[in-house]
Amino acid sequence: MANTEVILLDFWPSMYGMRVRVALADKGVKFEYKEENMAEKSSVLLEMNPVYKKIPVLIHNGKPICESLNVVRYIDEVWKDNVTLLPTDPYEKYKALFWADYVEKVFDSGRKLWMGKGEEKHTRKENYIESLRMLEGILGDKLYFGGENFGYLDISLIGICSWYYTYEKFGEFNTEIETPKIIAWMKRCMKRESVSKYVVEPLKVYDFALQIRKHYGIE
């Protein structure tokens, strides 16, 4: 399918936005990136996503597609002639969708870890590591979650390549010790041009997290 007008409303540290950026890049889809100020949301964002008022929003020929996993599925369906992200086998497709939903639990537990205060740090850390170990069990000894091919579930989790360092710093643990196969997977993913180009450097994300904590008075 020939590229038409594709615009992405996004915010640079968003792990949800990284999903969409990587999916577009993996498909070879050219797009216009528009950075959003989440403190002062643009009129375009409010118009294109009036329900949740969140990024990322993909605008394809003037039509908005919202919620990152929905957007990734849309990209996979529209640009069919390129690489396939979701498995074609119905059961394998179901599993990929199921575990992509589970990734939301990983991201949520990670957010609670870096945004929380000290008294519950141990519990938050254990919850995060437990959720990541569950995914490590699904990965097993495969190169990617989809086996030999980088695909939908890999893209669902890809933002962790930017955020894992922040989780480590606030949780006081080492991801490579706790989930070595996940770290090995991250390193393989980062060798892909579509990932290395659009996944934000971890130290930059950590600095962002420090600024957010300071803004909200979290010590």
Could you tell me what percent of the chain has a pLDDT over 70?
98
If one counts every other C-beta atom within 10 angstroms of the C-beta of residue 35, the result is 13
Q: Is pLDDT at 119 greater than 80 in this prediction? A: no
Q: What is the pLDDT of residues 170-213, one digit of tens each?
A: 999 999 999 999 999 999 999 999 999 999 999 999 999 999 99
Q: Is pLDDT at 116 greater than 90 in this prediction? A: no
Average pLDDT of every residue of the chain:
95
Find the radius of gyration of the CA atoms of the chain.
17
| pLDDT score of 89 | 95
Distance, in Å, from the CA atom of 19 to the CA atom of 4, rounded to the nearest integer, reads 20
Q: Is pLDDT at 81 greater than 90 in this prediction? A: no
Return the structure tokens found at 191.
């060798």
Q: What is the pLDDT of residues 139-159, one digit of tens each?
A: 999 999 989 999 999 999 999
Distance, in Å, from the CA atom of 86 to the CA atom of 23, rounded to the nearest integer, reads 11
Q: Are 179 and 136 in contact (CB under 8 A)?
A: yes
Sheet with strand 63-66: strands edge to edge? 32-35, 6-10, 57-60, 63-66
Sign for the CA dihedral angle at 69, 96, 112, 189 comes to negative
